[in-house]
Chain A
Amino acid sequence: MIEKTLKGKPAYWIWLAFLGMFIAVGIGCYARQYLFGLGMTGMSRDVSWGLYISQFTFLVGVAAGGVMLVLPYYVHNYKVFGRITILGEFLAIAAIVMCLLFIMADLGQPLRALNVVLHPTPSSMLFYDMIVLNGYLFLNILCGWVILTAERKGVHPPKWIYFFVYLSIPFAVSIHTVTAMLYCGLPGRHFWLSAIIAPRFLASAFAAGPALIIIACLVLKRVANFDAGKEAMNKLVTIIMYAALLNTFFVLLEVFVGFYSNIPGHKHSIEYLFFGLEHHGHVYNNLVPFMWTSVVLNFGALGLFAWPYARKKNEFLLGLSCVMIFFALWIDKGLGFVFAGFVPNPLDEITEYIPTANELGITLGIWAVGFLVVTLLYKIAVGAHHEMEH
């Protein structure tokens, strides 16, 4: 099936070359970082995790979001998702590949990464994250490939594969739960020390993942003559709406707990995110414009989704609202959540984090790798699909 990636229209090759350009820049930037050290980034003693880990956290969600297709289709036998379930599985593969690359980019000693396996430490949440992320990657490759191969041959998939399909569902939940546990089990980081982090992560994941799948479907409809079907898209929009509403609800609960309890440690990070934090006469407010953009995009998208015309009749508005919700959640989790956890630091000092150009180069490079993987996989999936029809 891999041969399908080798044939395509000029636009396909231009797109691949465009991504390749970013990947090349990313590799160059990484070489610089590798030779100099993580001092090439904007991270500091106080804000010791930056864009890499925040992108990782967000993308774990995108990967987990694929389960919103797998679960209805395989468990509830919801046939409408039949054509696009493979897109969810392949998106998960690309997202996990990005996650693993972001983790590698973040390590101070990347050549020692295997120490996590050589010295397994069950008390560390990273140990479990390593297991579930690689497990989920493996499951999606296996299930996606076996089922697509069977469909292409016009036969039923082998029975044994369903064991792995069902196994992938708890794995999807576990990758984001364990990723939340990286944060919510740390004493002294008030913003993260909240039992609602894991459900909040899952809710935003179940909105961001399917939103990206709708965007992909709209693109595929134009460039690859692949129609996911109206009913499938409508159902996805419903899923996104509920998930985004839940996420908004959870965030508002955090705001309530912080401000009503009036405990300074619980308020500081939220104040820093939305209003800026005043400290010794200086107001620190780097993230304020981003967070309010996120709020506007979030409610704007929810409003558009609620409007039947935009949701059902106008593909441009549907795509726009999906892009909006995706960006809103990306800012919320892919920027704010991680950075604000470090403000203020344990000694009540504030250091703001601004990524460097080199760091942005690596980050864009890894995103480009993800888009490349998803393009190639979708090319295979859609190619196999067309082959079946003819």
Chain B
Amino acid sequence: MDKQRRKFLKIAGATALAGIGAPAFIRLSSSNALAAVHGAAEGHGAEAAHGASVETAPQGVRLGMVIDMRKIVEQPALLDNAITACNNAHNIPQFDNRKSEIKWIWKAPFANVFPTESSYHLAKDIKETDFAVLCNHCDEPPCVRACPTQATFKLKKNGIVAMDYHRCIGCRFCMAACPYGARSFNWEDPRPYIKKYNKDFASRMRGVVEKCNFCSERLALGQEPACVEACQGTGAIVFGDLNDAQSEIRQLLDKEFAIQRNASLGTKPSVFYIV
């Protein structure tokens, strides 16, 4: 009797373990196949996590941005317009303490944006004009590598580093991993601090990380990113496909010398600055 009971317990235990382990196993072993089915739609599978190299694929789209500081030196107000446009479009809360700040695109001096470049005897205009700082939408994003739930991932269709606010567990590993300080965390409920609510874009809840999304939601409607639109006609911010030789952004980059933030880390940033 006792022996039988022991045998039963053994089988029951093994079955329970298998039951617990099976979903993880199936997930791991079939994620490639899954990605092929709905990966094209949202790029949510394992391939996005591996950072499949869009750069080398001839038909791939890699969205990027050029910030032409020569234009912003002439008209520094452009940057403020761009930031306001972004804040309004994305329901960015305005906290008055630095600790809880949420920032998607913001201003900082050259020395802070490019701490690995020399600021010694810097040109006066560059020293006195703030630069725009935002997520670099890296082609090799360290944040995507670090995220334990694929709540942040690279969109296969256009290279945007996106977030799933409903999956994020708020471990903030991505914030430690990002070498550009582009990520913000909702330390408390952001909703009371949103000045003007935009119904077309979801606000976030507390406990999740967020950052610039290159206006994926506006691109889907055929619109330009909010910051680009705010600088329309000036050429201060140019947005487009880095892999398309005919695009405006590529023609600009082919002509002008541009720099990326801390490119030595191998992250392949998609945001360029013409200084």
Contacts and interface: CB of A to CB of B under 8 A. Distances in A.
Contacts of B177: 186-187
Interface stretch (A116-124, A198-206, A214-222, A376-384): A116-124
Nearest to B51: A123
B63 to A, nearest CB: 22
Contacts of B24: 117-118, 120
B233 interface: no
Interface residues of B, number: 55
Interface stretch (A144-152, A293-301, A344-352): A344-352
Contacts of A126: 146, 148, 171, 173
A118 B24 CA distance: 6
Contact of A124 (B112, B148, B185, B206): B148
Given A38-B187, A108-B208, A126-B148, A345 B181 contact: yes
B142 interface: yes
Contacts of A351: 98-99
A124 B100 contact: no
A77 interface: no
Nearest to B106: A347
B256 interface: no
Contact of B101 (A45, A121, A123): A45
B69 interface: no
Nearest to B190: A37
Contact of B150 (A110, A121, A345): A121
Which residue among A123, A130, A342 has the maximum number of chain B CB atoms within 10 Å of its CB? Answer: A123
A5 interface: no
A13 to B, nearest CB: 35
Given A121-B49, A121-B148, A189-B179, A107 B108 contact: no
B262 to A, nearest CB: 7
B195 to A, nearest CB: 19
Contact of A116 (B101, B169, B207): B169
Nearest to A126: B148
A122 to B, nearest CB: 7
Given A117-B24, A189-B176, 17 more contacts: A36-B188, A37-B186, A37-B189, A38-B188, A45-B100, A45-B101, A48-B176, A108-B185, A109-B168, A121-B147, A126-B173, A187-B265, A187-B266, A346-B115, A346-B179, A347-B108, A348-B112
A303 to B, nearest CB: 37
A132 interface: no
Interface in A92-138: 103, 106-110, 112-113, 115-127, 130
Given A108-B169, A109-B168, A186-B177, A125 B115 contact: no
B167 A112 contact: yes
Interface residues of A, number: 48
A38 B112 contact: no
Residue with the greatest number of chain A CB neighbours at <10 A, chosen from B24, B207, B267:
B207
B38 interface: no
A242 interface: no
A195 to B, nearest CB: 17
A112 B179 CA distance: 26
A341 B144 CA distance: 20
Interface of B: 23-24, 27-28, 49-50, 98-101, 103, 108, 111-113, 115-116, 133, 142, 144-151, 167-173, 175-181, 184-189, 206-209, 262, 265-267
A227 interface: no
Interface of A: 36-39, 41, 43-46, 48-49, 103, 106-110, 112-113, 115-127, 130, 182-183, 186-189, 265, 341-342, 345-349, 351
A126 B208 CA distance: 17
B267 A187 contact: yes
B212 to A, nearest CB: 14
B170 A108 contact: yes
A123 B50 contact: yes
A44 B169 contact: no
Contacts of B206: 36-39, 108
A186 B176 contact: yes
Contacts of A38: 170, 185, 187-188, 206-207
Given A118-B27, A187-B179, A187-B265, A45 B185 contact: yes
B148 A130 contact: yes
Q: Which 7 A-B pairs rank lowest in CB-CB distance, beginning with the nearest? A: A108-B170, A188-B179, A108-B207, A39-B187, A39-B188, A126-B148, A346-B181
Contacts of A44: 98-100, 187
Nearest to B189: A37
Nearest to B262: A188
B111 A348 contact: yes
A189 B113 CA distance: 16
B207 A107 contact: yes
B142 A187 contact: yes
A191 to B, nearest CB: 12
Contacts of A103: 171
